[in-house]
């Protein structure tokens, strides 16, 4: 299964904030056996979000977005995704109650100056029609899980401490039900430092092994080079076995070169 990860927000595309959310989600996806093909960081522009979602929609099975669910003017992820999927927005009564209580509790605790709802708070209760709301255990903005044409789109908040529990509790179980594979990633060092030679051996091993192999050059002053092996399998053991066979084969080629 293929996937794409989005991070939405000017702070990412302007280089102010390093996009650790996408790395976190992509790494999770990859370990669960998804072939993650794209990470797209997009400015808070409706037309850019819509065209980017449309761009990947036919190319992947799962799309996960982070960012743009909050109360401010530039929090436009849900309405943009809805537009891309040709869905309407609706006011979710349960989300509205949750937000009302959320701010009233903060007010009662003396943390903010006004209780209940206002227009900006209410905005976060508008979700995508036909979606499953994803509850937020930390902040006010709920996420959504939308299915369309057999594809799964998850929209999550951008604040990492809100995004991560929502992803792990609400999204990971669904993803696990979609895939029957895992990936195994292993890096080991070989006594060769020249990609232009090692590359030929890697090409040969990859032709006869279902393993992705990538040399990781660290400069020619180092006599060793790390090599990364990635294999998908129906379980960890199968992935590990594939990688161990590929390592043996690569070692033979390197030794025959001596």
Can you list the positions of beta strands (E) in 105-157? 126-128, 132-134, 143-148, 151-156
- Given a contact cutoff of 8 angstroms between Cβ atoms, the answer to whether 89 and 78 are in contact is yes
- Given a contact cutoff of 8 angstroms between Cβ atoms, the answer to whether 215 and 198 are in contact is yes
Cβ atoms within 10 Å, residue 228 = 13
147 or 191: CB nearest a copy of itself: 191
- Residues 35 and 13: their CA atoms lie apart, in Å, by 24
Pattern 73-112, binding to a copy of itself, x per CB under 8 A?
A: xx----------------------------x--x----xx
The reply to whether 212 sits near a copy of itself by the rule CB under 8 A is yes
Minimum CB–partner distance for residue 216 and a copy of itself (Å): 8
Q: Which of 46, 59, 88, 248 binds a copy of itself (CB under 8 A)?
A: 59
11 or 132: CB nearest a copy of itself: 11
- Given a contact cutoff of 8 angstroms between Cβ atoms, the answer to whether 171 and 134 are in contact is yes
177 or 196: CB nearest a copy of itself: 196
The reply to whether 217 sits near a copy of itself by the rule CB under 8 A is yes
The reply to whether 173 sits near a copy of itself by the rule CB under 8 A is no
Q: Which of 93, 149, 150, 221 binds a copy of itself (CB under 8 A)?
A: 221
Retrieve residue 223's tokens.
């006599």
3-class SS shares of the chain: helix, strand, coil, % to 5: 45, 25, 30
The reply to whether 45 sits near a copy of itself by the rule CB under 8 A is yes
41 or 131: CB nearest a copy of itself: 41
13 or 153: CB nearest a copy of itself: 13
Q: Which of 18, 189, 224, 237 binds a copy of itself (CB under 8 A)?
A: 18
Q: Which of 8, 40, 134, 246 binds a copy of itself (CB under 8 A)?
A: 40
Minimum CB–partner distance for residue 208 and a copy of itself (Å): 14
* 101-110, long-range: CB < 8 A, 24+ apart: 102/140, 103/140
Conformational region of residue 133, where left means phi above 0, alpha means psi within -120 to 50, and beta covers everything else: beta
Residues 123-162 that bind a copy of itself (CB under 8 A): 159
119 or 255: CB nearest a copy of itself: 119
Retrieve residue 202's tokens.
């890697």
- Residues 247 and 3: their CA atoms lie apart, in Å, by 28
- Residues 77 and 79: their CA atoms lie apart, in Å, by 6
Q: Which of 188, 189, 197, 237 binds a copy of itself (CB under 8 A)?
A: 197
The reply to whether 28 sits near a copy of itself by the rule CB under 8 A is yes
Near a copy of itself by CB under 8 A, which window of 72-80, 126-134, 145-153, 236-244?
72-80
HSE (CB half, 13 Å, CA atoms) of 129? 9
């Amino acid at each position: 299964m293929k996937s794409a990860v989005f991070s939405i927000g000017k702070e990412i595309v302007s280089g102010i904030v390093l996009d650790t959310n996408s790395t976190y989600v992509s790494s999770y996806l990859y370990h669960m056996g998804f072939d993650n093909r794209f990470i797209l960081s997009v400015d808070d522009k409706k037309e850019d979000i819509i065209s980017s979602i449309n761009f990947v929609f036919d190319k992947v099975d799962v799309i996960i977005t982070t960012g743009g669910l909050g109360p401010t003017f530039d929090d436009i992820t849900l309405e943009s995704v809805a537009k891309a999927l040709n869905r309407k927005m609706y006011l979710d009564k349960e989300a509205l109650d949750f937000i009302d209580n959320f701010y009233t509790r903060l007010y009662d605790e003396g943390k903010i100056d006004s209780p209940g709802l206002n227009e900006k708070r209410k905005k976060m209760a508008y979700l995508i029609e036909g979606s499953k709301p994803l509850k937020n255990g930390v902040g006010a903005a709920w996420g959504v899980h939308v299915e369309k044409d057999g594809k799964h789109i998850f929209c999550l908040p951008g604040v990492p401490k809100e995004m991560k529990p929502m992803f792990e509790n609400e999204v990971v179980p669904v993803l696990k039900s979609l895939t029957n594979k895992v990936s195994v990633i292993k890096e080991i060092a070989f006594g060769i430092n020249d990609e232009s030679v090692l590359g030929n051996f890697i090409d040969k091993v990859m032709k006869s092994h279902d393993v992705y192999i990538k040399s990781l050059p660290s400069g020619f002053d180092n006599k060793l080079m790390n090599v990364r092996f990635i294999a998908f399998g129906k379980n960890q053991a199968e992935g590990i076995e594939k990688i161990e066979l590929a390592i043996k084969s690569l070692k033979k080629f390197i030794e025959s070169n001596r």
